Amino acid sequence: MERALASANTWAFDAYALEEASNGRPLSALSFWLLERTDCLAYIGADATMVVAYLQKIESGYKSNPYHNARHAADVLQSFHAIIHQGGLAPGYVDQLTMLGCYLAAVSACVCVCVSVCVCT
């Protein structure tokens, strides 16, 4: 899985490879990896086990369809990450709390809007 995640900081990221390497859990794998790498979890003092369970719960809300699925959400999240970091927004304009909010919004956006299953309630 490290090989698939290694490209997450570049535009060469392959969501299909991550889906395969993570045994069908590309969104929770990438989300947790990014939250750890950017120190967002440490910033809020989050328990890693609880965060993983939360991310997997969100991921399980995505249905298996050709487009709005967990792989697509992982791809959107990675694109957002690349824009923030390669676009020069972090460090500087985007702090840890803002980054955490952006990442969690990207993780859950399609599950709530496109699938009509919101795990937030």
Catalytic sites, residue numbers: 68
The single residue listed with the structure tokens 């795990």 is: 119
Backbone angles phi, psi at 82, to 5 degrees: -65, -40
Two tokens, residue 6: 């290694």
Q: Which secondary-structure segment (H or E) carries 18? A: helix 15-21
Backbone angles phi, psi at 35, to 5 degrees: -65, -35
Cβ-based neighbours of 100, under 8 Å, separated by 6 or more: 35, 40, 43, 44
User: Distance (Å, rounded) from C-alpha 8 to C-alpha 11?
Assistant: 8
